[in-house]
Amino acid sequence: MLIITEVLELETTDKVEIIDITGNINTAIAESGIRKGLVNIYSKHSTSGIFINENESGLLEDFKDIIHLIVPTNGNYQHNRIDNNADSHLRSFLIGCNETIPLEDAKLSLGTWQSVFFLEFDGPRTREITITIIGE
């Protein structure tokens, strides 16, 4: 069994931004030489998220709209007393910071309409995502 770790660096350009990282992950898998196992995608930040869903332009706008509805930007948040980004943390808390995906035939074993996304909630920033590939 092999364990390979790679860090994907992203430069985000907006306060809230959705970036499809499926291709980056499949590149890391190809370079690892691992054909079967598991892949964990982990964002090392408390104001971002990782999720899996469909890459359709209207739906990506719907995700942003619903995030703003559930966690309004200008809520009366305690954390804003020390750091004016409580909305970003609360959005991250709802989405979660990692996903684990089966690896088959040297690529992510996703459903036909599934992609893996990084969600920026407090950009623009430089972000690091750890890709851990475990298998043989």
Interface residue list for Zn ion (CB under 5 A): 83, 85
Q: Which residue is nearest to Zn ion (CB)?
A: 83
Q: Which is nearer to Zn ion, 60 or 95 (CB)?
A: 95
Q: Which is nearer to Zn ion, 12 or 85 (CB)?
A: 85
In the complex, least distance from residue 13 CB atom to Zn ion, rounded to whole angstroms = 20
- Concatenate the DSSP letters of all residues of 67-136 into one string: HHHHS-TT---GGGGTSS-HHHHHHHHHH-SEEEEEEETTEE---TT-EEEEEESS-S-EEEEEEEEEE-
In the complex, least distance from residue 78 CB atom to Zn ion, rounded to whole angstroms = 11
Distance between CA atoms of 50 and 97, rounded to whole angstroms? 5
In the complex, least distance from residue 79 CB atom to Zn ion, rounded to whole angstroms = 6
